[in-house]
Structure 1
Amino acid sequence: MNYKEIYKDSDKGGAYLFYGKEKYLIENAIGYLKNKYIKGTDAFNYIKIEGTEATPADIITAAETYPVMSDKKLVLVKDVSFFISENNLKKSFYEFLENLDNFVILIFWDRASIKKTTKFYKEMKKLGRDVEFPKLSLPDFRNFVNQYFLRKKKKIKTTDIAYFIEKSGYNSRNEDKTLLDIKTEMDKIISATSGEVITREDIDGSITENVDSNIFNFLDAMMKRNTEIAILELDNMYRLNEEIPKIFYMIIRQVKNFLSYKILNEKNIYPNDIMNEIGVSQYEFKKILGTQNNFTKSFLVRFYDELLEADELFKTTSVDEKVILETLVIKYCNG
């Protein structure tokens, strides 16, 4: 089940399995259910059970007791992975889950990483009560950032939201970064922003340095042919132990994007069609449009050939990759 189903206007009841990377989203969903169904009666109708200590009998007893001064009660079982590994759950327990009365919302929260091969997960999935809270898609993440700033009474331009997203590293290969990390970054920016509008300077002055933000700064400097900044950011990435082949790939990608734009533009293809053909976001395409005049088509063709030669050197010899990469960056920026 998609976690957004929790917020749909229908009468919730029965058992659910909450799991996924985004603890922040899970906490929000639990808070929403508490506020909607048991607000003001939490002391009577909100029961938290530690899965590290619970038995099936404990959960059954908690779920079968009627609510007080409310139509619903909410029972939360944390650490469900521990609970199911330590208890030999019998058929009768799964029958209990399937036939649970509608007056109770029973949430099993997996705070580790539940195996989808377990009988418990399969049974919850069969009931359609497996609710995953994954990392957000780019559109959902963009909306999350915008709405969070608005709730804090801060305005931010759409382009600067995209800038923050690029620097945050949330949607990149850094899979360990969660919304809780992003919230911390946004709170720092909000605290450091004196005015009503968040600017790029506010973002740059507050966001925690990470490999992804260095890559963003590095590629931006390359586009603008700013040798000093490009080399500085390259050194920062070395310091953060970024792998040279990954940096090299990003340079190749940027050159290919510029070259593709030049070739397609010569054919009088509409900009939106070029953007779709290259396969980049609107934000990245605007940066290509704004800096493509820094490079001629003939230079890009020659430089791309040099990149292919360097790639062959990396694969077949024991050359100093750092020296070659720095030489390529200087040549790219100086043309």
Structure 2
Amino acid sequence: MSASNWSLLHPSTFVLKGVPGLHDAHIWISIPFCSIYILTLLGNCLLLVVIKTEPSLHEPMYLFLCMLAAADLVVATTTIPKALSLFWFGNGDIPINACLAQIFLLHSFSTMESGFILAMAFDRYMAICRPLRHAAVLTPGVIARIGLAIVLRGAVLLWPHPFLLKWLPYCRGNVISHTYCEFMALVKLACVETTAERAYSLVVAFLTGGLDLILIILSYILIFQAVFQLPSKAARLKSLGTCGSHACVILVFYTPAFFSFLTHRFGHVAPHVHILVANMYLLLPPMMNPIIYGVRTKKIQQGVFKIFCIKVDK
């Protein structure tokens, strides 16, 4: 193959085009993107500081929440600044290595987010269904090992993605109709058989997000069984109240995630709708998680007030 043909089929740079059909509105679309990103940075950083400085929050649920906040920050920062550069300055060029790095960081840390949400579900299961063993099982050492296992799972399973994409010939061009590099977006530009790449992506998605969701649902079935066996209504409401924030996080994370995943592979929706939903999957959970826990958790509220030296009447 000549050098010119090689460079055509293996471009050194891809071009992000943003939201299809809404290029004239990019500057307006950037306003909620930028606002949500700022709130994401402030909310998650504040959450990390509050949990670190407040000894009463050094419990398994909040330690897993710290891990989730850190993953949220990586996912948001991996994608949104480049999208804003595209919206504000029309700078859609992204070198192939940067594109592949973005794909790895995006998918691996999204997988870690799912794992941390599962770990939080396990904590709720132990606290409600096995309260006498909760402290004995979820020791600091066990929490650290669970966190490490989740990080390694995301890194190891998603590590092949960049290598699967690196040497594909992209005879359909180097223009990506998206605001960030995404695995399936690049696969669709290739002009060779990509069954193996697609199959691997589907298997990884099931072994991570799909399996996590099944286990989360199973844990909540067991939680509900235990809660509704409690003798009093007050006890039932108190137990369910401890799960409320986590249930909201589950809905906020998995609903747009699975919609985006399924429509990208099997569905037929307008391209701009798919791209906007895919971005909501990245934008909303990192912003909403600290808000949900901040609003619903009194200890976190008190920690925030303490940081800003705000006195609150008890």
TM normalised by structure 2 equals 0.22
Higher relative contact order (CA 8 A, sep 6+): 2
Structure showing greater Rg: 1
- Kindly indicate which of the two structures has a greater share of residues assigned to helix: 2
